[in-house]
Amino acid sequence: MLLPCCVLVFLLPRPCFTAPTVIPEVASSPSTEPQADLKLATEYLQHYYNLQKEPFVRMKRSEPTFTSKVKDMQIFFGINVTGELDADTLEVMRSPRCGVPDVEEYSHIQATRWNKNVLTYSIGRYTRDLPRSTVDSLVESAFSVWARASGLTFIRSHNRNADIMVEFVSNEHGDLYPFDGPRGTLAHAFGPGLGVGGDTHFDDDEHWTAGKTGYNLLVVAAHEFGHALGLKHSRNPHSLMYPTYKSSHPVNLLSREDVANINALYRRAGSRPNFFPRYGWSSQYNPWMSGSLFPRLLQNRCASDLTFDAVFTLGDATFFFRERYLWIKHNEQYDIKEGPITNFMPKIETSIDAAFWVPRRSTAYLIHESMFWTVKGSQMRGKPRALNHFGFPAWVQDVDAAVHIVKTGRTLFFMHDIYWSYNENRRVMDFGYPKYISEDFPGVNSTINAALHKDDFIYFFVGPQVYKYDYTGKAVVGVEKANSWLGC
């Protein structure tokens, strides 16, 4: 499911996400609304109020859907419901806030919570802004805010198997929710569950402090940990879980509502877990419960016969797909996040046959049989589209593997014993394809399950083996086990 639970954002001076945005077209009547305001409002409503993106259609400001979403936002924040981008509305849209949508349309399952009352946390990478001892103290204090109000206990751990991993990172960091530098996204947190569930990331490009200047780490962390525990946003401006960030807070960060909500979600030890629909999480931001309310069992990543259906790299992480399961490995670390694909991408309820990443577009393409999904920036874009979008002949209804070669600007699609070359610049298939794999890739004579381009080599995943192929020298230069890519 996904995508992180909470993203604190400052919508000015630039948007949270890098994906192209449909900007409403100014109506034919004269208007004094600057295009920047229209762009801001559209991105805000798309992200927080489920305004649908239509990439090839320009939408008018006066269109009923746009107006109704403005009204939904005004109702949520308790401001005058006009449906217009008036001063009060734009002021709220410009305020720093959390990235969890404010509408219930995103929610497709009931509440998530940890099925235990003792949770561990660990701090991985630290910020450069504060001494480590200060960060340790502020994180501990943020957890204590919730511990004092509930029956929960938080224990510091020093390994990466903790329930909640706390890290300071920047830009692309392997979870499909890239940070965007100073004054943009501040932080995000995943909901309860296995793998990356509960993990909380802070943008290290921000200025973190323990006081009123910059961004107060205690305040932001306490808010994020609320999401990591399964709480959603509140409409109460006095609540810690209110969407917008405030630099000043009372000594007691939690409102009565916050205390009531955490105790409703986590009954005291000895009572049965309760799942309340009113705490339902967004399907986009609650990735860790799939179908049932209880996590599925982890798969054995070190099995000797382990194979992958698709592999691609995004930022500093590599994604490995097998049937309906996914592993995410940070390239310079040993931790591996894993779980059903729907935990990370709730719209995908199938296996993935092939996947590739086009860095210059910040876009990933995930293929299942004759359809593919597009992940742009940090969002799943629109509905799945037909594979023939790439220019395949009608008889091609699936591919076995795909890989993008940055230097050539080509994406190679492999099917049985043949392959195609797609020109990403012109967005057309190259002339003369398909060709035989064995002729252009000597030494690779079996059906390819997955492919990955890295450090000028193509890695062909064939059953439980991986062939390291020198793309320049046209030769296989090494063979290894597929499970070795997961640290086995």
Burial class (CB in 10 A: 0-12, 13-18, 19+), 395: exposed
Are 114 and 163 contacting, i.e. CB atoms less than 8 angstroms apart?
Answer: yes
- pLDDT at residue number 5: 54
The whole-angstrom separation of Cα 74 and Cα 89 is 7
Angle at 229 between CA 226 and CA 235, to 5 degrees: 40
- pLDDT at residue number 71: 87
Averaged pLDDT for residues 322-338: 78
Angle at 131 between CA 128 and CA 134, to 5 degrees: 125
11 versus 101: which is more confidently predicted?
101
The whole-angstrom separation of Cα 113 and Cα 471 is 48
Q: What does the block give as tokens for 32?
A: 């004094």
Averaged pLDDT for residues 138-150: 90
Dihedral over Cα of 29, 35, 40, 45: its sign: positive
Active site residues: 224
Averaged pLDDT for residues 148-160: 85
Tell me the pLDDT tens digit for each residue of 433-457: 999 998 899 988 888 999 999 888 9
Tell me the pLDDT tens digit for each residue of 191-200: 888 878 888 9
| Stretch among 88-102, 208-222, 264-278 having the lowest mean pLDDT | 264-278
- pLDDT at residue number 270: 36
- pLDDT at residue number 333: 57
CA 203 to chain centre: 14
104 versus 193: which is more confidently predicted?
193
Q: What does the block give as tokens for 326?
A: 């996914």
pLDDT-above-90 percentage for the chain:
26
- pLDDT at residue number 56: 40
Tell me the pLDDT tens digit for each residue of 283-303: 233 322 223 222 344 678 888
Averaged pLDDT for residues 96-110: 52
The model's pTM is: 0.52
- Residue-range domains of the chain with CATH: 17-98 (1.10.101.10), 118-279 (3.40.390.10), 310-486 (2.110.10.10)
Whether residue 260 has pLDDT greater than 80: yes
Tell me the pLDDT tens digit for each residue of 464-486: 999 999 988 889 999 999 999 98
Tell me the pLDDT tens digit for each residue of 355-399: 999 988 888 899 998 999 988 755 677 788 899 889 998 888 889
- pLDDT at residue number 274: 31
Adjacent-strand bridge partners of 476? 469
Tell me the pLDDT tens digit for each residue of 171-221: 888 777 777 778 767 888 888 888 788 889 998 998 999 888 888 999 989
CB atoms within 10 A of CB 151: 15
Whether residue 349 has pLDDT greater than 50: yes
The whole-angstrom separation of Cα 386 and Cα 141 is 50
The whole-angstrom separation of Cα 260 and Cα 256 is 6
